[in-house]
Amino acid sequence: MTPSVPFNPPAANLPGKPSVPEWVPPPVTQQKENFAELTSIDLSLLDSDDPAVVDRLVQQVKRAIREDGFLFLENYGVSLEQLHRQFALAQYMYSNISEEDKERLLFDPETGKWSGYKHPYGFKKQRGVPDGIEQFNWYNREWQNLDRIPKCLHPFMDEIEAFCNYLTNSVNRRLLTLFSRVLELPDDYLWNNVQSYGSPTGEGYFRHALFRPVQKQTEEASKGLRMHGHTDFGLTTLLFSVPISCLQIWGQDEQWYYVPYKPGALVINIGDTLEIVSGGHFKATRHRVFKPPVDQLQSERLSLVLFNSSVGDLRMAPAKESPLIQREGCVEDQGVYSEFKRRTSEGKLVPTNAQWREIQIATATDPTDTVHNRVGVHQVIINGKLMHQREYMGVKVVLPV
């Protein structure tokens, strides 16, 4: 492995760049209950000359992805100051984006992509019930055409692009090396065979999200949910740990837990593709976005996320070459993997990666949607627990609400 180089973005004070107010992290919650304990991985240890250190790291990752499906990543090459600059740019965008750009760059989820600007009225192009969530999503077409980016961000695209390139080509690539090693495969197995790359985000996307506090009617309709319980579609999602606690993960004891704030850390979330390729040895992280503890209910929450997608034309199956899978077999009780396996054994095709992500985006529903979010429509009760149930191209997805 070539040793990793730290992130070195273009300067913030280059000529022509307006000054951007700092991002000041809001206060953390005083609530201590209902927080998960996550393993933290020191990515810089992958560069160690001592094979025993690297081996311990791989074992630590193996345990964490089997048991939690979520991990913190630290020492991945981006400093806290560099990270706060990226949050400052997101904050600047939401203070300066024009109404004209919001209209012109409006997203159209029916295309199967979130690409562009999401208005704070639900996850359909047509405005629905207010959900207080704004997003800007960079896909390939945004990277390729400055005209697809809010004008206020034009002077800073060098920094945003450099950040995404670093996250994709350095952080995610090293992470996939670790995961390939857990599967006892060559270092670049997942990168070369499954991960899409080429533009700063390959077939995936980068997001600036802003969650504003919601009105009473919205909170009542959604029962405090901001985003349904779900798993992400691709290989990995890199989320930045933020002070406003809304992100929750589903624990082994079948309860939701908030993800704690660890300044500067990345929260790594395993997507469906990794679950399938690993034959269920990795489990796709079940997570949701919920209202924060009471002392943060009035705070705005910025969230930066990079979604790393798999190659769209592939249909996923377990990596048969993996000595781990050859030795231990597949883990059949896993969600999406077991459904893909069932379909394959019935002689049917599973969706391609692109079909899998696009159908879910195109048909996403809102937590405020009281028509669909009922038992008998998109909800079922299983063993006394309320679950959200959908079917996409013959593949059933059952997730905790």
Ligand X SMILES: O=C(O)CCC(=O)C(=O)O
CA distance linking residue 227 with residue 346, whole number of Å: 33
| Nearer Cβ to Fe ion (231/334) | 231
87 phi, psi to nearest 5 deg: -65, -40
161/232 with CB nearer Fe ion: 232
- In whole angstroms, give the CA distance from residue 227 to residue 92: 24
Q: How far is the CB of 172 from Fe ion (least distance, A)?
A: 16
Which residue has 């406003």 as its token pair? 244
Least Å from the CB of residue 359 to ligand X: 16
**Nearest partner of 143 among 69, 71, 199, 213, judged by Cα:** 199
Q: How many CB atoms lie within 10 A of CB 320?
A: 9
3-state class (DSSP) for residue 322: coil
Kindly tell me which residue out of 289, 306, 319, 354 binds ligand X, with binding defined by CB under 6 A. 289
| Binding partner of 239, given Fe ion, ligand X, none, CB within 5-8 angstroms per partner class | ligand X
195 binds ligand X (CB under 6 A): no
Cβ proximity to ligand X, 150 vs 229, nearer residue: 229
If binding is defined by CB under 6 A, does position 274 make contact with ligand X?
no
Residue least distant from ligand X (Cβ): 303
Q: What is the DSSP string of 304-330?
A: EEEEEPBPTT------TT-HHHHHH--
Shortest approach of ligand X to residue 230 CB, angstroms?
7
154 versus 223: smaller Cβ distance to ligand X: 223
Question: x-or-dash pattern for ligand X, window 212-231, by CB under 6 A?
Answer: ---------------x----
> Tell me, what DSSP letter sits at residue 302?
E
CB of 314 to ligand X, least distance (A): 21
Residue 287 in contact with ligand X, rule: CB under 6 A: yes
Contact 259, 268 (CB under 8 A): no
The beta strand positions in 281-384, using DSSP E, are 287-290, 301-308, 379-382
Contacted entry of Fe ion, ligand X, none for residue 289, CB cut-off 5 to 8 Å set by kind: ligand X
Radius of gyration of the chain, Cα coordinates, nearest whole angstrom: 20
Q: Looking only at residues 232 through 251 of this chain, which bind Fe ion when binding is defined by CB under 5 A?
A: 232
x/- map, 297-336, ligand X, by CB under 6 A: ------x-x-------------------------------
Closest CA to 250 of 54, 52, 399: 399
Give the footprint of ligand X on residues 235-254 (CB under 6 A).
239, 247
Q: How far is CA 247 from the centre of its chain?
A: 11
| Nearer of residues 153 and 239 to ligand X, judged by Cβ | 239
Cα dihedral value 159, 79, 238, 45, nearest 10: 130
Residue nearest Fe ion, Cβ-based: 232
Q: Tell me which residues touch ligand X (CB under 6 A).
A: 209, 227, 232, 239, 247, 287, 289, 303, 305
